[in-house]
């Protein structure tokens, strides 16, 4: 794929190329490098963008996503905080209400629970509470998910809990180009955005990215691969295995359409339903536990709005309904390409 991702035709933005006669060159970079690039671009373009979090300034963050930014923009805009997630969230809400655009980092998803009070009770409600007089343009970056053999409390996938909160936009990236474009869009948003970064993908691959400051659209799904036989829906790190499974199926002449949800809240029903109408079959893939997972929400919406488009029941591939184990036991928990392949085969066997 190139540096821009395909979306449903109705969601594409026309760009007049005559305004940019000398396009910038694309550079092959990792996802963590793309995030660093987007943060630098946002701070360069808007002096109200500030960053805060544990070890993000002097050390460049635990994953080095903010490396070099303090040196470039100064300690007043790239700030280390105490080990206090409630403080990080609370200060961010205050900054956002007074005209700044804070980009806060929570080191691992397992540490975000202390910040929930401010996210649910204040960030998500500020626009409604003040009847539009105040808004909360803050971004909270959260590395999440398993796959790097981290200790306990470091590998959760609790995106469904966050997506359940009205007023919080929840976004996750699955490639360097999408990380760059979606993070820029998140920072530009006038309302709070939870930006989930699948840490397993931070350095798993490289992709051409153009540092042109152009955001990708929020609130839409990305169709990564066209297909006519079955729809595969996923997001975050599991897109990697989903595309692998699609390649394997293609060798058997089974053409899977792959959709990257990207924005979990609000969810783009139209792109999903258009794909279901084309294929009649669907498998939803997620790393999180199955019980009350976000895959259940997608399955419910398909049943409510597109039941008669289906030729077989919606299938789900997910993690297990237990806490994410740590170190080498992660591989026993996380779905893989073979699980997706088997779910597709089983679904196709049920076609009526």
Residues 227 and 120 in one domain: no
Residue 177: the pLDDT is: 98
Residue 338: the pLDDT is: 98
Whether 101 is covered by a domain: the verdict is: yes
**Domain stop point among 209, 232, 261:** 209
Residues 141 and 183 in one domain: yes
Whether 5 is covered by a domain: the verdict is: no
Residue spans of the chain under pLDDT 70: 1-23, 352
Whether 4 is covered by a domain: the verdict is: no
Options 154, 164, 255, 291, the catalytic residue: 154
Domain that holds residue 282: 222-349
Residue 331: the pLDDT is: 86
Whether 132 is covered by a domain: the verdict is: yes
Residue 154: the pLDDT is: 85
Residues 202 and 324 in one domain: no
Q: What is the DSSP string of 146-159?
A: SSS---TTSS---H
Residues 149 and 231 in one domain: no
Residue 26: the pLDDT is: 87
Residues 66 and 167 in one domain: yes
**3-class SS shares of the chain: helix, strand, coil, % to 5:** 40, 20, 40
**Domain stop point among 153, 181, 209:** 209
Residue 154: active-site member: yes
**Cα end-to-end distance, the chain, whole Å:** 35
Residues 234 and 178 in one domain: no
- Secondary structure tally for the chain: helices H, strands E: 12, 14
| Global confidence as pTM | 0.92
Q: Residue 349 contacts by C-beta under 8 Å, 6 or more apart in sequence?
A: none
Residue 1: the pLDDT is: 35
DSSP strands (E only) in 47-138: 49-53, 78-80, 101-105
CATH at residue 89 = 3.40.50.970
């Amino acid at each position: 794929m190139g540096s821009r991702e395909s979306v449903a035709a109705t969601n594409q933005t026309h760009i007049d190329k005559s305004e940019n006669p000398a396009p910038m060159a694309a550079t092959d970079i990792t996802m963590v490098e793309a995030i660093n690039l987007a943060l630098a671009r946002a701070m360069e373009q808007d002096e109200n963008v500030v960053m805060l979090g544990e070890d993000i300034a002097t050390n460049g963050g635990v994953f080095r996503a903010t490396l070099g930014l303090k040196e470039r923009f100064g300690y007043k805009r790239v700030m280390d905080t105490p080990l206090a997630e409630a403080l990080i969230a609370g200060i961010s809400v205050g900054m956002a209400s007074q005209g700044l655009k804070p980009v806060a980092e929570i080191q691992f998803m397992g540490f975000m629970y202390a910040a929930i009070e401010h996210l649910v009770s204040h960030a998500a409600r500020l626009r409604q509470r003040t009847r539009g007089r105040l808004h909360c343009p803050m971004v909270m970056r959260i590395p999440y998910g398993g796959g790097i053999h981290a200790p306990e409390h470091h590998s959760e996938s609790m995106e469904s809990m966050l997506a359940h909160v009205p007023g919080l936009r929840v976004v996750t990236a699955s490639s360097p180009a999408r990380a760059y474009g979606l993070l820029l869009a998140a920072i530009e948003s006038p309302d709070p955005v939870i930006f989930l970064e699948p840490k397993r993908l931070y350095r798993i691959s490289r992709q051409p990215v153009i540092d042109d400051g152009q955001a990708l659209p929020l609130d839409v799904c990305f169709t990564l691969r066209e297909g006519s036989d079955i729809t595969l829906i996923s997001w975050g790190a599991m897109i990697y295995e989903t595309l692998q499974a699609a390649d394997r199926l293609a060798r058997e002449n089974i053409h899977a359409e792959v959709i990257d949800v990207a924005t979990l809240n609000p969810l783009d029903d139209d792109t999903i339903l258009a794909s279901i109408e084309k294929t009649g079959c669907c498998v939803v893939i997620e790393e999180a536990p199955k019980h009350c997972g976000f895959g259940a929400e997608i399955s419910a919406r398909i049943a409510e709005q597109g039941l008669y488009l289906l030729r077989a029941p919606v299938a789900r591939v997910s993690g297990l309904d237990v806490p994410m184990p740590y170190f080498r036991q992660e591989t026993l928990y996380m779905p893989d390409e073979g699980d997706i392949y088997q779910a597709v085969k089983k679904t196709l066997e049920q076609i009526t």
